[in-house]
Amino acid sequence: MDLFNLRGVVFFCFALGLAGCADPKSAFASSESISCQAPGAASSAWEKQTRAAGLVVSTVDKNFKQGLIRYVDLEKGQLQQKPGLGSGDSFVRADQSRIYVINRFGQDGIRVLDRTTFEVLADKHDEDLSNPSDVAVVGDNLFLSRYEKKTLRRYKLPALILEREYDLSRFADADGIAEAQWMKYHEGRLYVELQRLTRDPKSLLLRPKDPGAVAVLDVQADKFLPQAIELAGANPVTDFKVNPHGELYVGTMGEYAKLDGGIERVGGKKGFVVTEKELGGDIVDFAWIRENELVAIVRTLPPVRTRLLHVSLDAERKTTVITERSGDFYEGLHSVLYVENCGAIVVAERDTENPKLSFISVEDFKYVPGRYLDVGLAPYHMVLAP
């Protein structure tokens, strides 16, 4: 369980056109440009993960009552928004033509947008209290993970017609709910992250008593492999990330403040490539930037502090603090992405007074003055748009 699993209430904004709007104060001045290049064709899993024409960001207020969907054109350094299409608790995904908005508590459904015009192409309520977590699109199939339910669903695009449910309870812990969260389609298989948390009927707490796992769907055969991949750590919380060799990794948090998780490879030899003890905090997010080199966000408590780290996994292992923030659980450094065609990492900074996306060079790991975008509300979930 992490900050993503909080209850939100829908908030709609009004009075802006269907085509979205450019926010002048959120455009880079020419002297402060990120200088992102066109992403170019991507063939490998690594290139697909790190090359992007834009960013899609869901933003929320501190009370999870207001939310906006933002699109960042990386080449133009320009921000667009279309109000009323997200909730105060939305996740996002994107492909070359569409944006997918996963609205959670209070809406529990999927909204598909045209990436250029923000026109709503489809809007589907899933099931009350399903708490959908992620979508993965394979051809005209849209897979939906549902945190509070025992099944994964497959919808047919473009109309979002429900075609099949897959029972995940055989991969769950004793309470029968696997807590399915992030997904990734990779080399013909759909990988589904399972937190496998224990539900305490006397409280709202979910506790990690079993190792996390990854269920694997053979998409062509349309069936899950008999055994899930058991992880070394409990409570996986990060999205799946591939390294330059195309190998899948995930971050597991374990128990809060116990430093019992880390970053580990999915499949192959079980174990961490770097532990939370080495990182000095609970894993929040990470991104590979080169072979044997990554950046990671960790949270320490008490007191609450988030740090962005540069981690070298060479023979002489080294961890360096790039920046850090203090604040409550809501605030601080929240997510990080590596954008190869920008030569930078993008960091989502959830600051009540100054929420923004900051760009940091991967050459010297320093902020460059002016190289950030004010996104209005705090960035909640951020993905690359190819």
What is the Cα–Cα distance from 315 to 54, expressed in whole angstroms? 35
Is the residue at 78 inside a domain?
A: yes
What is the Cα–Cα distance from 275 to 150, expressed in whole angstroms? 30
Confidence of residue 34 (pLDDT cuts 50, 70, 90): low
What is the Cα–Cα distance from 75 to 96, expressed in whole angstroms? 15
Confidence of residue 351 (pLDDT cuts 50, 70, 90): confident
Is the residue at 6 inside a domain?
A: no
What is the Cα–Cα distance from 204 to 187, expressed in whole angstroms? 37
Per-residue pLDDT reduced to its tens digit, 81-101: 765 666 677 899 999 999 999
CA 219 from centre of chain:
22
Instruction: Choose among 342, 334, 372, 338: nearest CA to 53.
Output: 342
- What's residue 160's pLDDT? 96
- What's residue 372's pLDDT? 79
Instruction: Choose among 254, 256, 257: nearest CA to 272.
Output: 254
Question: What's the CATH number where 319 sits?
Answer: 2.130.10.10
Is the residue at 16 inside a domain?
A: no
Is the residue at 55 inside a domain?
A: yes
CA 156 from centre of chain:
23
What is the Cα–Cα distance from 133 to 3, expressed in whole angstroms? 13
Element (H, E) at 47: helix 45-50
- What's residue 242's pLDDT? 97
What is the Cα–Cα distance from 295 to 322, expressed in whole angstroms? 9
Is the residue at 64 inside a domain?
A: yes
Domain region containing 190: 21-385
Across 133-147, 301-315, 352-366, the highest mean pLDDT is recorded for 133-147
pTM to 2 decimal places = 0.89
- How many domains, in total, are found in the chain? 1
Rounded mean pLDDT, 188-215:
89
The C-alpha angle 237, 263, 214, rounded to 5 degrees, equals: 55
- What's residue 24's pLDDT? 36
- What's residue 62's pLDDT? 73
Rounded mean pLDDT, 242-250:
97
Is the residue at 177 inside a domain?
A: yes
Q: Of the ranges 30-34, 316-320, 381-385, which one carries the lowest mean pLDDT score?
A: 30-34
Per-residue pLDDT reduced to its tens digit, 155-176: 999 999 999 999 999 999 988 9
What is the Cα–Cα distance from 52 to 28, expressed in whole angstroms? 18
Q: Which two tokens stand for residue 53?
A: 């024409």
Q: Identify which has the larger pLDDT, 366 or 140.
A: 140
Residue 68 has pLDDT above 90, yes or no: no
Is the residue at 14 inside a domain?
A: no
Question: Does residue 223 contact residue 217 with C-beta atoms inside 8 Å?
Answer: yes
Per-residue pLDDT reduced to its tens digit, 260-288: 999 999 998 889 999 999 999 999 999 99
Per-residue pLDDT reduced to its tens digit, 116-159: 888 999 999 998 888 999 999 999 999 999 999 999 999 999 99
Is the residue at 2 inside a domain?
A: no
